[in-house]
Amino acid sequence: MGRDLSLLLPELILMITVTLMLIGEMVRFSRVVLAIGLAGLALATWQSYLLLGTDASVFGGTYRINYIAVWSKLILLPATALSLLLARGELAGRFREGSVYSLMVLVSLGALMLSGSGDVMLIVLGVVLTGLGSFALVAYPADDAATEASMKFLVYGSVAGAVMIYGVTFWYAGAGSTLFSALVTIGDKPLLAAAGLLALLVGLGYKAALVPFHFWAPDAYDGAPISVAAYMSVVTKLAAIFALAQVFTYLPIATGWQWAIAILAALSMTYGYLTALVQSNLVRLLAYSSIAQSGYFLLGLVAIGFSALALDSLIIFGAAYAAMNIGAFAIILVGGRDMDKFTGLGRRSSIVGVAMVVFLLSLAGIPPLFGFFGKALLFGAAIEAGFLWLVIIAILNSVLSLAVYLRVIVAMYMAEKEAKSEQKSTLATTIVWVLTLAITLLFGLITQVFTGASIF
């Protein structure tokens, strides 16, 4: 048990952090809340780093501390810290800003449960915990748009969660246990397996905003504060992807999960980018782009068990996606939500413009930026698993994505008709985009940090 606790240190630290943050928020010391949050996240990240190379499970196999789980902590915790800073930049001085910080950390705790889950029940808990916090985060501005967005999100999330809970009971019926490791036998009961898989995909697909479970995402992102949109598009999405990775490590291939994932991937990429192409609201544009990016993650998922690159590609692209997506949202926070407000941004402020260009080109997968290396590995993994057709669809979508992102870039470098937009740049926001810019630019070149010794 003592060993179990040491393995759970990051989660325990996070729990204590949230408690302290709530106490700080009760007395409205928002700066203190922020400081506690950042310190707790840093400490938890450090403890996660020490766990690298561990492959263990606790609580009777229901919670895993393995390659995916540890790396997901190392991605999600810093991403949460960046989101906190972004929230500070956006909401400083607003009523109860501290509750945003504490909710974010709380939701991240749920995200860690998802990405480390070794049991169906833990996935349910993780989905519910991340969901509850996210509903409140979206509703935070308390205006009409946010309330509507949160309402939609809540209804959608409740239904998806209910379907999932109902469906995964079939797995329990088939396998006699809720552990993933028991799922290896479910291949002989195809109907039960399919029902459970479908339910799981509804629940986690909704969390990861995969087509066709994505409808909530653009509205929720747009209604929420920009920092919350950035947070949800990265942390909760990645948690769901990593949770799927944990499940597919055990789920027998006979259930057909590979094909289900491949089809979702093709749909998400294509639908996401086609819709992004006509958006004029940048938050919505990034929302659809992040739906498409979820599709790219699935290329790594289909290869689990068939390619040594699969897990690495998920982790590297996960890190890249976290950096470039948060960075892009940070620039939107500086420039404004509307494409109109972005007109001429690159000419007014060349460094902010260059940063946005880097984030967008990285999202499109142009080398030598971080996003490229992630995508190249995802493609390699999917090819090795025999999904060449899916990679070709992904490649065609990459061309489409370039059109999506170039629209923003072109607008940024057009001569502006009249000087109009006010830029609101705060120190916290600047820290966020400078850090993510450095990661996006340089981490591709030092990708070997992420390719651990556990493969090959």
- Segment 319 to 378, residues that bind another protein, using CB under 8 A: 350-351, 361, 366-368, 372-373, 376-377
End-to-end Cα separation, the chain, in angstroms = 33
Spatial CA neighbour of 239 closest among 77, 8, 442? 77
Q: How far is the CB of 162 from another protein (least distance, A)?
A: 41
Q: How far is the CB of 134 from another protein (least distance, A)?
A: 35
Span interacting with another protein, options 32-40, 119-127, 230-238, 400-408, rule CB under 8 A: 400-408
Token pair listed for 334: 């500086």
Backbone torsions φ then ψ of 117, nearest 5 degrees: -70, 140
Q: How far is the CB of 389 from another protein (least distance, A)?
A: 11
Q: Under 8 Å CB-to-CB from 435, ≥6 apart: which residues?
A: 82
Task: Kindly report the number of other CB atoms within 10 A of residue 426's CB atom.
Answer: 16
Give the count of residues interacting with another protein (CB under 8 A). 36
CA distances (Å), origin 252, targets 130, 191, 341, 378, 426: 28, 13, 50, 21, 50
Spatial CA neighbour of 297 closest among 243, 228, 369? 243
**Cβ-based nearer residue to another protein, 170 or 379:** 379
Q: Dihedral sign, CA of 155, 109, 446, 66?
A: negative
Q: Which member of 26, 27, 184, 395 binds another protein (CB under 8 A)?
A: 395
**Cβ-based nearer residue to another protein, 53 or 190:** 53
Per-residue contact track with another protein, 402 to 421, x per CB under 8 A? xx--x---x--x--------
- Segment 285 to 314, residues that bind another protein, using CB under 8 A: 309, 312
Q: Which member of 155, 253, 263, 399 binds another protein (CB under 8 A)?
A: 399
Interaction of residue 447 with another protein, rule CB under 8 A = yes
Interaction of residue 451 with another protein, rule CB under 8 A = yes
Backbone torsions φ then ψ of 213, nearest 5 degrees: -110, 30
Q: Under 8 Å CB-to-CB from 32, ≥6 apart: which residues?
A: 24
Residues that bind another protein in the complex, under the rule CB under 8 A: 309, 312, 350-351, 361, 366-368, 372-373, 376-377, 379-380, 383-384, 388, 391-392, 395-396, 398-399, 402-403, 406, 410, 413, 445, 447-448, 451-453, 455-456
